[in-house]
């Protein structure tokens, strides 16, 4: 769990870690769900529900009893379900655990988030236009709510360790955009209230990251 929660200085995803990158580079795909689950601290049941699998199927994949994780369609289904951008799979494609880190380091310049004294609104507008499109989960459940709550907790915890807003903001906004879409589509009733609270917590976290002096 410690290795799964160790974030590189220029992460390409909220739950990026050297351990995850090494597993991808070595095509150790059955380890990927377990690493992600340890990194975000959700249960096996919650993770399976988010992806649309049974808990037994996830267990079979993770233990290598079934080879489903070696199917590219299964890998992409898993990545999309947890909001992992396709760029985070570069270590798998290039057999290089460091693949994508240089692109992450260029992210500040590429998205206009460098130390140039941009106002918060200008920085937000520039970032929103630079981020790739996202889609809402097909069926939102309490598992998604717990997952997004874990995302907010991790963002607060890692704010000081990986360079603050310039690094974490794009990652935070990707998850918030997915949560916002889910609220629009499944925001009714008691479950919708919990979903709205989780999305609101992510929004507050983004505001906290924008309070970084870089965006002053």
CA torsion through residues 87, 50, 38, 69, sign:
negative
Q: pLDDT-based confidence at 1, cuts 50/70/90?
A: confident
Residue range 122-144, pLDDT digits in tens: 455 455 555 667 777 878 889 99
Q: Record the pTM.
A: 0.81
Q: What percent of the chain has pLDDT over 90?
A: 51
* pLDDT value for 159: 83
Percentage of residues in the chain having pLDDT higher than 70: 80
pLDDT digits 0-9 by tens, 141-178: 899 999 999 999 999 888 877 766 678 888 899 899 99
Answer yes or no: are the C-beta atoms of 50 and 79 closer than 8 Å. Answer: no
């Amino acid at each position: 769990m410690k290795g799964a929660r160790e974030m590189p200085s220029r992460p390409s995803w909220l739950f990026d870690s050297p351990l995850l990158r090494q597993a991808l580079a070595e095509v150790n795909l059955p380890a990927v769900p377990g690493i992600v689950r340890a990194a975000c601290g959700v249960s096996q049941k919650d993770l399976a529900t988010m992806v649309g699998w049974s808990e037994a199927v996830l267990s079979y994949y993770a233990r290598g009893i079934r080879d489903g994780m070696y199917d590219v369609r299964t890998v992409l289904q898993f990545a999309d379900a947890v909001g992992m951008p396709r760029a985070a799979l570069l270590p798998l494609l290039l057999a290089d655990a460091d693949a994508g880190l240089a692109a992450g380091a260029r992210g500040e310049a590429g998205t206009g988030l460098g130390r140039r004294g941009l106002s918060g609104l200008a920085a937000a507008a520039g970032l929103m236009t630079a981020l790739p499109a996202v889609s809402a989960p097909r069926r939102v459940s309490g598992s998604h709510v717990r997952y997004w709550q874990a995302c907010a907790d991790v963002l607060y915890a890692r704010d000081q360790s990986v360079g603050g807003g310039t690094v974490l903001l794009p990652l935070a906004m990707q998850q918030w955009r997915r949560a916002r879409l889910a609220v629009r589509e499944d925001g009714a009733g008691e479950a919708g209230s919990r979903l709205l609270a989780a999305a609101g917590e992510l929004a507050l976290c983004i505001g906290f990251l924008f309070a970084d002096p870089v965006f002053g």
